[in-house]
Structure 1
Amino acid sequence: MKPPDEPPPGLIAGVRAVGREPSPENAGQRWGFGAFLLVEAVFVLTAVFITAVARTSGTDIGTSVAFVLVGSMVPTVLAAAVAVVITRVRGNGPLVDLRLSWNWADVKIGLKLGLLGLGLTYLAALVWSRVVGDQNATSAIGELVDGAALPLAAAIAMFLYVCFVGPICEELIYRGLLWGAIERQGWSQWAAFVLTTLIFAASHLEPLRTSLLIVIALPIGIARLITRRLTASVVAHVVNNFLPGLTLLLVSIGVMPT
């Protein structure tokens, strides 16, 4: 099975093409919303299990370096791995089903939208912090790192996760698996864009920051929308996470104040 046809080059042309071209075919794809629900269950149950182990052992997950790293990384990575396995067992594999075909034009679009996302995120975060206060505007990972005072190796591992591993895994799950499940129902690409953006924001389980996460997710979803592939959204997500990830690194090793 071939990947979907190339979209017209450029952001404006890509947006104009959405809705006029037929949706990618899903021949051989034998998974849908059930697969996404299974992946989400793996994510939640893994996080609950890690928390339960920490509490049973009497460990404060907010101050233990090991639990900060494991609790932050393992649920998302494991969930993404399950998504990939599902496409291999019940479909055509991740390259086809999750639209992972490589294209340098997609990288350029992802970079542009990622930089746009950085600007939007910065402005939205400024407004949001004024509305809810700086403490309430802090992300869950930010709170964990703030309480843990990570050593250099652990801080670098967290930086790599926030900037690279996390974005790749989340894109596989939401704008890969979930987007593909929505397309398989015959819904429009705009419906896939809206639903994946909202579910992505809500799935972080940070109710106070959900509206901010929606703003963050918009350019990333647009990258997926106009290219029809995951590469652009992965690049946009990585770029959008870079400065926050770098800030976490510098704070956690004591270079910047909390």
Structure 2
Amino acid sequence: MTAHQSREPVENLTPAYQGQELAAPRPAPPHRWGFGAFLLVEAVLLASAAFVSALLRRAPREGSIPMRDVLIGTMAPTVTAALVAVLITVVRGNGPLADLRLSWRWDDVRMGLRFGLLGLVCTTIGAFVWTRVVGEENASSAIGALVEDQPMAVSAAVAMFLYLWLLGPICEEVIYRGLLWGAVERMHWGKEKWGRLAAFLLSTAVFAVSHLEPLRTSLLLVIAIPIGLARLVTGRLLGSIVAHQMNNFLPALAILLTALGVVHL
């Protein structure tokens, strides 16, 4: 190669070779999905829940609750809806990592643990007060009522525990503090964006109502507030996922022990 061929114009060299700092990466372009995407995902959640409920009612069952009923009845609707949410970010946006603000940061984990601990305290106090108001006979959640006085196979009980503790919170956060949050942040009131505070308030309310347990809505609001605060403070989804998982651990453990017949609620 000749000396002439080895030379590049200065303007074609990278900034590093020009003695300058590397430019910051360009922000991802705005995603092309909005509130309609959340409504679609919510419709998928409700439709799939109704479908599997009808399917399981027709299927004969003898003895303990089998793994099939846990996988299909409890997990399938939420997991399916979360997968649709992720697919929307791929097809109409920049993918789940960018659009849902999902990235691994230890600071977010630590913040999520703090808000999860706050959530445990709030949930414990809220559940105590709420139980005294509505009565113990009405205090069970839908899943808690499922396992009460009904044996469950060990494999099904363990799968239920892992779902309630780990997988379920991920799916719900993708839907509510991911897709819904991102949609609300882009909405406008006149010329002003609704912003993060509006996203926190609306996602908290919709999360509580969407469980379709009217009697427990007030308690679910108490549960949802610390989880939403983790998303609000960190600005990313990992914090609320960790807070949600931590908040779900003790209830999931109680349902596991109840399903195995170790304790009786």
- Taking structure 1 as the reference length, the TM-score comes to 0.86
- Select which of 182, 185, 188 maps to 1:183: 185
Name 1:132's counterpart in structure 2.
Answer: 134
Counterpart secondary structure, 1:150: coil
In the TM superposition, what is the alpha-carbon distance from 1:235 to its structure 2 partner?
0.3
Counterpart secondary structure, 1:92: coil
Q: What is the total number of aligned residue pairs between the two structures?
A: 233
In the TM superposition, what is the alpha-carbon distance from 1:68 to its structure 2 partner?
3.9
Name 1:9's counterpart in structure 2.
Answer: none
- Relative distance call for 1:147 and 1:181 in structure 2 (3 A) is farther
Contact 1:68 1:144 in 2 (8 A): no
Q: Matched residues in 2 for 1:257 and 1:154: separation? A: 18
Counterpart secondary structure, 1:201: helix
Runs (5+) with no aligned partner, structure 1: 1-24
In the TM superposition, what is the alpha-carbon distance from 1:256 to its structure 2 partner?
1.2
Q: Deviations over 1:164-223 (max 9, x none)?
A: 000000000000000000011121211110000000000000000000000000000000
Name 1:156's counterpart in structure 2.
Answer: 158
- The structure whose Rg is larger is 2
Structure 2 residue identity aligned to 1:152 = V
**Is 2:246 the counterpart of 1:244?**
no
Of 51-60 and 192-201, the range deviating more from structure 2: 51-60
**Is 2:78 the counterpart of 1:71?**
no
Counterpart secondary structure, 1:257: coil
Q: Matched residues in 2 for 1:210 and 1:145: separation? A: 21
- Relative distance call for 1:176 and 1:88 in structure 2 (3 A) is same
Structure 2 residue identity aligned to 1:144 = L
CA RMSD of aligned residues (A): 1.7
Structure 2 residue identity aligned to 1:179 = W
- Select which of 149, 158, 171 maps to 1:169: 171
In the TM superposition, what is the alpha-carbon distance from 1:151 to its structure 2 partner?
1.4
Q: Matched residues in 2 for 1:55 and 1:156: separation? A: 23
Structure 2 residue identity aligned to 1:240 = N
- Taking structure 2 as the reference length, the TM-score comes to 0.84
Q: Matched residues in 1 for 2:219 and 2:51: separation? A: 28
Q: Matched residues in 2 for 1:147 and 1:206: separation? A: 20
Q: Matched residues in 2 for 1:218 and 1:91: separation? A: 28
Contact 1:63 1:147 in 2 (8 A): no
In the TM superposition, what is the alpha-carbon distance from 1:55 to its structure 2 partner?
3.0
Of 247-256 and 47-56, the range deviating more from structure 2: 47-56
Q: Which has the higher contact order (CA 8 A, sep 6+)?
A: 1
Contact 2:117 2:243 in 1 (8 A): yes
In the TM superposition, what is the alpha-carbon distance from 1:144 to its structure 2 partner?
1.1
Counterpart secondary structure, 1:254: coil
Name 1:30's counterpart in structure 2.
Answer: 32
Q: Matched residues in 1 for 2:57 and 2:153: separation? A: 23
In the TM superposition, what is the alpha-carbon distance from 1:118 to its structure 2 partner?
0.2
Name 2:204's counterpart in structure 1.
Answer: 197
Q: Percent identity?
A: 60
Name 2:110's counterpart in structure 1.
Answer: 108
Q: Matched residues in 2 for 1:116 and 1:97: separation? A: 27
